[in-house]
Amino acid sequence: MATRQEVIPIPNLTGYAFGEKLGAGSYGTVYKARQITTSQSRPSSAACARPNFFAIKCINRKNLTKTTQDLLINEIKLLKHIKHENIVEMYDFQWDENYIYIVMEYCAGGDMSMFIRSRQQLSEARARPFVQQTARVLKFLYEKRISHMDLKPENILLTSIEKPILKVADFGVAQHIGKRGSRSIRGTLLYMAPEILSSRPYDNRVDLWSMGVILYECLFGRPPFVFSSVDELIEEIKSNIPIEIPNDARISSECRNLLEGLLQRDPNRRISFQDFFRHSFIFIDLSSQILRADDLFQRSITYEQRDDIKKALDYRVRALDEYVAIIKVDEDHDRRQMLRIKVKEGLAAAETLKKRISQKNLNLASISTTVSSSTENLDLTNNKELSEAYQHCLNGNQLMNIARFSQACEEYQIGLTVMLRAARTETDPAKSKILHDVISFYLNKAEICKDKNEAQQLDIDMEKIKKDNALDNTMLNESNFITERQQQASSQQNCCLQ
């Protein structure tokens, strides 16, 4: 006789209309929900400050184990007592016979993991505001002697797409760590500090290690470990080999210094909380960042005067990226306005440089299209390797024609490597001449393709800067900022009057 499959009850909380599923964790599913009732059904003290949409975590009571029940109680207890602008807010929690419901702040911008994946990796200028906001949360928790224990990009949410504020979430495994330390293994392995996996007690410095892994992932698009299994990852984390920061990374000395300080395997050598909070990468003293941006801008002008347009454009774009990042966090209204003008003028100058490079590439391309009949005279019979190499170069032509320059460069490189090797061993003078002509032709094509690829990447970078300058996700818009503050003040006054 077939067993009846148990019907899982549908979550239903009075006063809310459930929408799309936002995600599922180890012991709960989170839904987007809309409030459909009047303030009479909710406590009046919170009604005036509440938005229309919420994230509601629904925990099936039948699936709760002793461990998950403890985690749930711990999260609710903590979120009831910690309020911070960069911590996801819990508005309410209720239960019925089937579910426990935690009503939380809805963050429409997704999480930092999604943000990193959408851009592959972040520039230092992009990553810095996120790290600074997370540092504010760590300072708040440090003062309350609370360790989050599970800091990772998936637990760092963004409030919106238009103008996100970072919100740290998921305090299920957070704990107070006393003077004797803790020995419990908790958190997510990839972001877990080495001392957690040891048999020795650890303290709240484990959060600093997690912060280091997150910053590394922001800058390089991946965590600092290479592994193919859980056992390999554990060995990587427990290893005594220092974490290496790529030497060719385009990051400032202060950013590198912070990374190295955070990713010390020995917690006694790791940067302290006090030094972390006042580190030049964290503490918002913009003077050094402005000087660096000005230096990049001046280098651009110098290279332009030397007629090295490619380097001039590269430094110009890097300078603009720095200026936009400064505008996001600078509290000096007049300086922000000045920098916005500088960005606007810099973008116009960058467009002029880009046109000059495009014209130069166009002239080179027109010269390279006239090639002798060497390619037609190239004998590919009975030489499979040379034939395949030539086909790679033809593939490069096709990819370049459809503006897939990065892949085209790879095809040219593969083909030319084989052709150059063949040219060194060719003894027939006539064949050698033909092969060298073909190589010369495709070397020229490959160089043009490389220039086009760099130009295409610069176009992408410039488009990002333009978008940030106009509708930047984290840029302060003066009128909106003032209006929001006025609305908040008005809302608080109304609440007090009630």
Residues 64 and 168 in one domain: no
Read off the tokens for 173: 């495994």
pLDDT above 80 (res 151):
yes
pTM of the entire structure? 0.58
| CATH code for the domain in which residue 302 is found | 1.20.58.80
In this structure, are strands 166-168 and 146-147 parallel, antiparallel, or unpaired? unpaired
- How far apart are alpha carbons 103 and 56 in whole angstroms? 5
In this structure, are 251 and 151 located in the same domain?
A: yes
Last residue of one domain, picked from the residues 370, 400, 421? 370
Q: How far apart are CA 82 and CA 174, in angstroms?
A: 12
Asked if residue 269 and residue 154 are part of one domain, the reply reads yes
pLDDT band at 478 (very low <50, low <70, confident <90, very high): very low
> Which of 42-51, 334-343, 450-459 is predicted least confidently?
42-51
Task: Tell me which of 120 and 484 has the higher pLDDT.
Answer: 120
Segment 345-350 mean pLDDT: 87
Q: Are residues 288 and 272 in the same domain?
A: no
Is 495's pLDDT higher than 50?
Answer: no
pLDDT at 490 over 60: no
Tens-place pLDDT, residues 429-449: 888 888 888 888 888 888 888
Q: Is residue 150 among the annotated active site residues?
A: yes
Torsional class of 93: left (φ above 0), alpha (ψ -120 to 50), beta (otherwise): beta
Say yes or no to pLDDT of 352 above 70.
Answer: yes
| Cα torsion 491, 164, 139, 173: sign | positive
Quote the domain boundaries for residue 123: 112-277
Torsions phi, psi for 130 (to 5 deg) = -65, -45
Same domain, 230 and 124: yes
- Here the CATH number for the domain that contains residue 163 is 1.10.510.10
Query: 138 and 220 in one domain?
Result: yes
Whether residues 268 and 328 share a domain: the answer is no
pLDDT at 13: 86
Confidence bin at 126 (pLDDT 50/70/90): confident
Residue 286: pLDDT band with limits 50, 70, 90? confident
The answer to whether position 2 is within a domain reads: no
Please answer whether residues 457 and 311 qualify as being in contact, where contact means their C-beta atoms are separated by less than 8 angstroms. no
Return the amino acid letter for 138. L
Q: Read off the pLDDT of residues 189-225 as tens digits, 9 standing for 90 and up.
A: 999 999 999 878 899 999 999 999 999 999 998 899 8
> Which pLDDT score, from 0 to 100, does residue 349 have?
87
Tell me, yes or no, whether 123 and 51 share the same domain.
no
Phi/psi at 93 (nearest 5 deg)? -145, 140
Rounded Cα distance between 144 and 176, Å, is: 8
pLDDT tens per residue, range 300-338: 999 989 988 888 888 888 888 888 878 876 767 788 888
In a domain, 480, yes or no: yes
Q: Residue 242 corresponds to which amino acid?
A: P
Same structural domain for residues 307 and 337? yes
- Picking from 208, 202, 206, the residue whose alpha carbon sits closest to that of residue 182 is 202
Residue 66 is assigned to a structural domain of this protein: yes
Between 18 and 479, residue with greater pLDDT: 18
Of 64, 89, 105, which one is at a domain's C-terminal end? 105
Q: Which residue has the higher pLDDT, 302 or 119?
A: 302
Tokens 């385009």 sit on residue: 250
Q: What is the pLDDT of residue 5?
A: 60
Q: Residue 4: inside a domain, yes or no?
A: no
Which stretch of 283-292, 355-364, 394-403 has the lowest confidence by average pLDDT?
355-364
Angle 9-11-14 from CA coordinates, rounded to 5°: 130
Catalytic residue, chosen from 111, 150, 451, 472, is: 150
The confidence score (pLDDT) of residue 489 equals 47
Establish if 496 belongs to a structural domain.
no
CA 407/CA 420 separation, integer angstroms: 20
Domain-embedded: residue 497: no
Q: What percent of the chain has pLDDT over 70?
A: 83
Q: Do 340 and 414 have their domain in common?
A: no
| DSSP H/E element including 143 | helix 124-143
Check whether residue 133 and residue 197 sit in a common domain.
yes
Query: Residue 447's pLDDT is what?
Result: 85
pLDDT score for 259: 95
Query: Above pLDDT 90, what percent of the chain?
Result: 18
Q: Are 491 and 351 in contact (CB under 8 A)?
A: no
Q: Average of pLDDT values for 109-117? A: 88
3-state helix, strand, coil in the chain (%, to 5): 55, 10, 35
**Same domain? 353 vs 288:** yes
Q: What is the pLDDT of residues 38-79, one digit of tens each?
A: 554 444 434 445 667 899 989 888 888 887 888 888 888 888
| Helical segments of 251-308, H only | 253-262, 273-277, 287-305
Residue 173 lies in a domain: yes
pLDDT reading at 36 higher than 50: yes
What backbone phi and psi angles, to 5 degrees, belong to 318? -65, -40
> To the nearest whole number, what is the mean pLDDT of the chain?
81
Whether 88 contacts 133, CB under 8 Å: no
Residue 415 phi, psi (nearest 5): -65, -45
Q: What are residue 53's phi and psi, to 5 degrees?
A: -115, 150
Q: Is the residue at 221 inside a domain?
A: yes
The model's pLDDT over 165-187, given as tens digits with 9 standing for 90+, comes to 899 988 888 888 887 888 888 88
Domain boundary among 277, 300, 330: 277
Total number of domains constituting the chain: 4
